[in-house]
Structures are given as C-alpha cells and as structure tokens.
Structure 1
Amino acid sequence: MKLERVASDDPRDVLRALRHAVLGAGPAVALGAGEHLPAEVGAGTAAVITTSGSTGVPKSVAIGRNALIASAFATAARIGEGAWLLAVPATYVAGVQVLVRALVNGREPAVLAGAFRPGPFAAAALGMASHENGTRVPTYSSLVPAQLQRLLDAAESDGEVARALRSFERILIGGQALAPAVRERAEAVGARIVRTYGSTETSGGCVYDGIPLDGVDVAIVDGEVRVSGPTLADGYVGDPHRTAELFPTDAAGTRWYRTGDGGERADGVLRVTGRLDNVIVSGGVNVSLDRVEAAVRGIAGLESAVVVPIDDERWGQGSAVVAAAATGLDEVRTLDLVRAVVAGAVGPVARPARLVLVEALPLLASGKPDRAALRRRFGGAKKN
C-alpha cells in the first residue's frame, strides 16, 4: 500500500485523504511529524500516525482501515449515531477517529478551525442543530480535559457556552485522566461526559467509563493493562522489535497490546492507576507520580496540575507540582495543603517537595500537558 503524507494540518485536507484511505482504495495517510517513513506500508493500512506523545518519545503507528472502522462502529453501538464536531487536532488519533466516525455514518463533520476557544466552539456546536424526518439529529464531540475545563470556566459567565455543552448527546473526554472536580462541574452544567481510555495503538479510546467497547477485551497481566480486539493497530513502522515486544500473541493465538499502564478490574470495570514507568524511588519506597497527581488534581485550583520527578539530596528522588497560577493562590499555604492531601491519599513518603506556579502550562498540539518540557525545565533525571 502506497503511503502519502498530508501536506497540511487543515482538517479538511485530512478528511479528504482519510475518505480515500478508509472508504476507498488508498493510498494510506501519513499524519504527524514522522520522518524517514517508507513509501510503502502493509496492505490494508489506512493511516500512519506519528506523535512524540507527552513524554517526548517518537513513534509511528500503522493502523489498518478495518481497525479504524471497527472502532467507529463500536463507538456508535455504545453511545449512538449522529453528527460529529471536530475540536481536537485532525492529525492525532482522537481527531482521526472523529473524522472516521463521520465518514462511516455518511455525514460531513463540523470542524472547529484555528486555535481552540470557547466562543467559536459554542458557535460551531449550536450551529450543528438539524432534524431528519422530524427528529433531532444527536450531536457528539471529543475533547481533552484541558479543553473541557476552559469551556466550563467560560460557561460560568457565558450562557451560550453552557448551552453548547448541554447540546451534545455525549462528549468523549480522553487523552489524560479527568479530575473528579472537573467531571462534577461538567455534570452540574448539564454536559453528558464519557471518559475514554485508549491510545494510538488501540485506534483511540476503546474503554468507555471503564467498560470495554464491544469486541474489545482487557486483561491485567502482572499489574499491567493489556488490550485485545479488532481495534488494535498493526504495529510500529520500521520497528519490528518494538512491535513484537508491545503486541505479543498468547498461547491461544490472541494478539494483545501492552499499554504500559497499571490497572485493576472490579466487576468488569477497569480502573487505570497510572503509568508503570512513572514511578520514583524516594527513600527506598516506590511512589507512583500518577497517584500523586490524581490526589493533587482533586484540590480546587489545581485540577490541571502536573507532577514531575525531581532530584532530592536526602531521599534520592522527590516530586514537584507544576500548576498555572490562579488568582489568590497562596504558594506556601497551597503547598501545605497539597502535602497533607497527598499524605492522606498516597502516604507521607509521596508528599511533593515543591510547588511551582507558572503563567501557563506548556501543551502539546493534542491539548495534553507537555510533560517532557516540564521535566526538562523543573524536574530531575529519573533514577529507578
């Protein structure tokens, strides 16, 4: 299968290319910042998505058209069919899936062009209202938590933004953990939120509110979340060793993806506990920074904070909380509160040593925090 790069980040250009790649005979579409990609990829490939991710490690993932279509149909089976608004970058898997869902449903997606802002989002959302045979067509969108928080902040003084949030049948929220306080605010304004879990390697979100989509299976092996099913990517372009390592096949012939996330299942519901490699050793004790971050994000004003590892002369490693400065936020008192909350939720050894207030957190194009940049600026090398 021939592989062609989309020359621009314009969502309409990506949509045109995906229409041929997913519904037609190709060529496959190369998206993202990948370099030195081959001119040909495996038969059935629809897209090669390259992203550095939040940790700065590049990867080029080949996804088959069958995987993208299976994911789109499974989403429709879970939350319903309708019209989609693209509000995330089209070159990331979440954006690709919004476009594919629209394509397989036979509808043109609404597109939010330019930088994400609450006003244009509300206008685009409210402009989607339509009816078929006298029945309103449900609308859907996909956002990352930082976008949702901006909309909720705006909705406090802008009724149109609040009405736009309520207009969607469902809003998928993925890309990173959603702070409970943000979800509560969304529910209070009337937004119908679905938390999604997945990655480029699983064609985007494949577990909704802890429940795998139809056809998707989840297993916990040695504490690690593994995913199987028809939405799995083919692997990493030009990296057969990494593909074999992260996409193993078990004795029964089932192919799995090793997510690198820790997790547990109770009554069929998946709970992700954090990245297995996002662990520091402080005073000889393993501390999950994802658990620390989850505790910190439960504090008002710190819903988007990021926890990074730092060097500690006494304990070997510690952590720092980096947050956007909020009006009236007292640094000393807030750090004391953070340390008390983390001690209660995770344990005294996990208490962050520092609180760093910045004007704004650096973000990737996907809307996720740029953790690699934050570690370079404020953190220390991991020693575990």
Structure 2
Amino acid sequence: MVGLIAMDAEDPVLLRDALARALDGGPALGFGMLGDAPDWVPRGTAVVIATSGSSGIPKRVALSAEALRASAEATARRIGSGRWLLALPGGYVAGLQVVVRSILAGTEPVALGGRFSPDAFAEATLSMLRPAPGDGIPELYTSLVPAQLSTLLDAAADAPVRAALQAYRAILVGGQALPEPLRERASDLGVRLVRTYGSTETSGGCVYDGVPLETVAVRTVDGELRIAGPMLADGYLGDGELTARTFTHDEHGIRWYRTGDLGLVDDGVVRVHGRADNVIVSGGINISLDRVERIVRRVAGLSGAVVVGVEDARWGEASVIVAPRGEALRRSESDQLVQAREAVAAELGKHARPDRMVLVDELEVLASGKPDREAIRRAVVDLR
C-alpha cells in the first residue's frame, strides 16, 4: 500500500514536484476527493481523480504511474516533445497530463495565472518563446477544450493572440466534440490543432485525429467503442463492482475499457457517434440530461418537457428544452426558461443550465408512448 495525499492543483510548482514523486513510487495524489477518501491506496497507484459519469455520481479513477507514463510517452512519439503551457486545471486528467509530459520531457510547464483569457494566453506563450541562455526556442505545446479555443479565435484579430496561437507545434483539443466550423476557423489561421478522444479512464486522450496512439487498440462491441492499452486505469477506487463492469477481458485475456460511447472503427479511423447513455459533454463537463430533465419538469408548465442535447459551436454540446404548447403558453416563455435555468443551476451547477427552449405542437413519441428523443433532437437541429 502507498499513502494518498489530497492535492490542491492550484500551484503548478507544487503539483509538478508532488507528481514527480508520485510517478517515482511516492505518495499518491488525490484530486477532487471527498472527506471520506482513504489514507492508503494499492501500491503502484500514482493519482486518484474524482470524476462524474452519466449518473453524475463521482467515481474515483485510480491511475498508475505506468499508465500515466505510457500515455505521455505515446503522445510524445506521435506529436513530439517540448515545453507545455498548462491552460487547464491540473486536477483534471487533461491538465494533469500536461504536467506528466513536462516531467518526462525534463521541462517546466508554464501555467496561466488567474482566469483564462486571450491576453493571459498570449503573454504566457510569449514568455515560453524567450530562449534560456544557450538554448534555442523550444517546440511549444498546449491542451485546450473547444470553449477556450473559441475564445482565442474570437480574439485572433489581436496580433499577439494570433501569433501565440500560431506558435504551437500542436494544440491538443479534447474534453468534448470539436465542432467542424471551429476547426476550419483555426485551420484558416494556420493554427495546428490535434483533435483528441479519451477519458480519465484512459489517462486522457488516446486517439488523435481519429487514429489511436501507437500502443492503443480500439474496437466496437455491439456498437460500443472499447479501448485497450497500457494507459488504462486500474479501476475505480473502492468500487470493485463498477470496475468489473467497465473493464472487461476478452477471450485472449486482453483488458478492455467500455467507453459507453457509440461509434465505429473504419479502416483504422475511430469515429465517435455519441454517448450510449443520455449524457452530453459541455465545456468538458459531463451533464446527465436525465437529471436536467427531472429538474426542468418541476417547473410549472414544463411537466411534459423533454431535454435533448445538440451540437454547440462554443461548448461542444448544449441542452435544449423541448416543451409542448398549451400549458407552457400560460406563462411567459422567457420566464419559464429563466426559472428552469435557475433551478438546474441551483441543483447541478451553472454548467448544466439548458441553453434555450423550443415549443412544439406535440412531441414525437415511440410506439411505447415514450418520447422519441432522437426524432425530437433532429427536429431541434433542423430549426437552427
């Protein structure tokens, strides 16, 4: 067994030092852990990250030093190695891997100070371009979520921001779907993006631009994407049943992670179609539409509403309330949306608030009488 230390990821220097010790067999680090976190974890564990799945209930993902190293090394083989800008929280796997990659590259990550902004991004990037005495200008890398990229592209008319974006050999973009218009805008500016797919359970992104990293295998079983490789998590701390359901072995003894995502592998290229459960990823955060819907339906006039997820240019995905006319029209539509957004924010957080509301004459239903969510979602998309 090895000790587990609750870690505050705010200080990048302390984070790097503590993570370097954890990768070398020292005390494991716990991120987002609740008060009942254990003091000890199995030997080999480097970090434990609390994350939410489709139920919104936190899961404690245990990652070994071997898994984190395997992920970082595979990334370096694919895109190269250099100096990294830490623009994401270090307590999330994408931010944590920026630090791991820096440790393995023998470099110091540069962290944005304060709130993310185009000016802060440009200033931090400029500082990285100043070579140390005797050294050349390093290759620059960073990892962003689409919402951050959108903010930077909106500010790219400012020369320093545009130059900063163009300075990176690769900008990894993950955490949620990357809208095609956003990718095209970046390409037009000469910004080198790498679209990533993965999760905390895979030590972060393990499929780059649709192609699995060198040590990664991806296949589908009954339409669900499954991933194998040395970067898989050991499982969920304290939940052997969930671990057994999520990580399975095939007839050859190979261990696979059940992603819960629907998709296919076409001539070696992974294509993700969406969640098998009723979850969207907005701004890099998992949001259970079932939970949002239950709260929305408590608002007067919205008892029959359905909440669906649609693509969003800024956040990757967003939720939309679809309600039948009639009872909804007895009150102001804008008042209902405000009340619904406030109710969801109070219970789940601001990130889960529905984006808008659409009124229809009647909701599409299946033969069972249940809402035909896919038909409803398509109708909402057609309205845009």
- TM-score normalised over the length of structure 1: 0.76
Q: Secondary structure at the match of 1:16?
A: helix
Q: Which amino acid aligns with 2:14?
A: D
1:304 Cα deviation after fit: 3.4
Kindly report which structure 2 residues correspond to 1:214-233, keeping only aligned pairs within 5 A, or say none.
214-233=214-233
Structure 1 stretches lacking a partner, 5+ long: 282-286, 315-330, 332-353, 363-367
Query: Where does residue 176 of structure 2 map in the other structure?
Result: 176
Change (3 A) 1:304 1:3: closer
1:114 Cα deviation after fit: 1.3
Distance 1:256 1:138 in 2: 34
- The 8 Å contact of residues 129 and 136 in structure 1, kept in 2 or not, is answered as yes
1:305 Cα deviation after fit: 6.7
Change (3 A) 1:209 1:216: same
Stretch deviating more after TM superposition (184-193 or 26-35) = 26-35
* Alignment: residue pair count: 320
Query: Where does residue 328 of structure 1 map in the other structure?
Result: none
Distance 1:86 1:9 in 2: 11
Deviation track 1:243-270 (CA, whole Å, cap 9, x = no partner) reads 0000011111000100100001211100
Distance 1:198 1:245 in 2: 18
Query: Where does residue 238 of structure 1 map in the other structure?
Result: 238
1:7 Cα deviation after fit: 4.2
Q: Which amino acid aligns with 2:12?
A: P
1:9 Cα deviation after fit: 2.8
- The 8 Å contact of residues 44 and 64 in structure 2, kept in 1 or not, is answered as yes
- The 8 Å contact of residues 202 and 231 in structure 2, kept in 1 or not, is answered as yes
Query: Where does residue 377 of structure 2 map in the other structure?
Result: none
- The 8 Å contact of residues 14 and 91 in structure 1, kept in 2 or not, is answered as no
Query: Where does residue 20 of structure 2 map in the other structure?
Result: 19
Change (3 A) 1:179 1:153: same
Query: Where does residue 141 of structure 1 map in the other structure?
Result: 142
Query: Where does residue 128 of structure 2 map in the other structure?
Result: 128
Change (3 A) 1:74 1:307: same
Q: Secondary structure at the match of 2:319?
A: strand
Query: Where does residue 308 of structure 1 map in the other structure?
Result: 319
- The 8 Å contact of residues 341 and 354 in structure 2, kept in 1 or not, is answered as no
Q: Secondary structure at the match of 1:141?
A: strand
Kindly report which structure 2 residues correspond to 1:278-293, keeping only aligned pairs within 5 A, or say none.
278=278, 293=310
1:357 Cα deviation after fit: 12
Query: Where does residue 347 of structure 1 map in the other structure?
Result: none
Deviation track 1:291-337 (CA, whole Å, cap 9, x = no partner) reads xx23xx4xxxx5437443646559xxxxxxxxxxxxxxxx9xxxxxx
Q: Secondary structure at the match of 1:187?
A: helix
Deviation track 1:165-198 (CA, whole Å, cap 9, x = no partner) reads 0000000000000110011111111110000000
Distance 1:9 1:54 in 2: 27
1:54 Cα deviation after fit: 8.2
Distance 2:350 2:218 in 1: 27
- The 8 Å contact of residues 197 and 207 in structure 1, kept in 2 or not, is answered as yes
Change (3 A) 1:303 1:112: closer
Distance 1:144 1:177 in 2: 9
Query: Where does residue 155 of structure 2 map in the other structure?
Result: 154
1:55 Cα deviation after fit: 6.4
Residues 1:71 and 2:52 are matched in the alignment: no
Distance 1:63 1:86 in 2: 20
Query: Where does residue 85 of structure 2 map in the other structure?
Result: 85
- The 8 Å contact of residues 21 and 27 in structure 1, kept in 2 or not, is answered as yes
Q: Secondary structure at the match of 2:98?
A: helix
Q: Secondary structure at the match of 1:2?
A: strand
Q: Which amino acid aligns with 2:171?
A: I
Kindly report which structure 2 residues correspond to 1:333-344, keeping only aligned pairs within 5 A, or say none.
none
Residues 1:119 and 2:100 are matched in the alignment: no
Distance 1:274 1:369 in 2: 23
Change (3 A) 1:129 1:266: same
Query: Where does residue 284 of structure 1 map in the other structure?
Result: none
Query: Where does residue 247 of structure 1 map in the other structure?
Result: 247
Query: Where does residue 38 of structure 2 map in the other structure?
Result: 38
RMSD: 3.3
Distance 2:180 2:96 in 1: 27
Q: Which amino acid aligns with 1:25?
A: G
Distance 1:224 1:198 in 2: 14
Query: Where does residue 2 of structure 1 map in the other structure?
Result: 3
Distance 2:247 2:31 in 1: 22
Structure 2 stretches lacking a partner, 5+ long: 280-288, 291-305, 326-333, 359-369, 374-384
Change (3 A) 1:356 1:38: closer
Distance 1:267 1:226 in 2: 16
Change (3 A) 1:305 1:237: closer
- The 8 Å contact of residues 84 and 109 in structure 2, kept in 1 or not, is answered as yes
Distance 1:125 1:29 in 2: 28
- The 8 Å contact of residues 4 and 41 in structure 2, kept in 1 or not, is answered as yes
- The 8 Å contact of residues 55 and 370 in structure 1, kept in 2 or not, is answered as no
- The 8 Å contact of residues 274 and 288 in structure 1, kept in 2 or not, is answered as no
Q: Which amino acid aligns with 2:96?
A: V
1:138 Cα deviation after fit: 0.6
1:130 Cα deviation after fit: 4.8
Change (3 A) 1:39 1:305: closer
Q: Secondary structure at the match of 1:264?
A: strand
Change (3 A) 1:194 1:120: same
Distance 1:355 1:190 in 2: 40
Change (3 A) 1:43 1:267: same
1:15 Cα deviation after fit: 1.6
1:32 Cα deviation after fit: 1.5
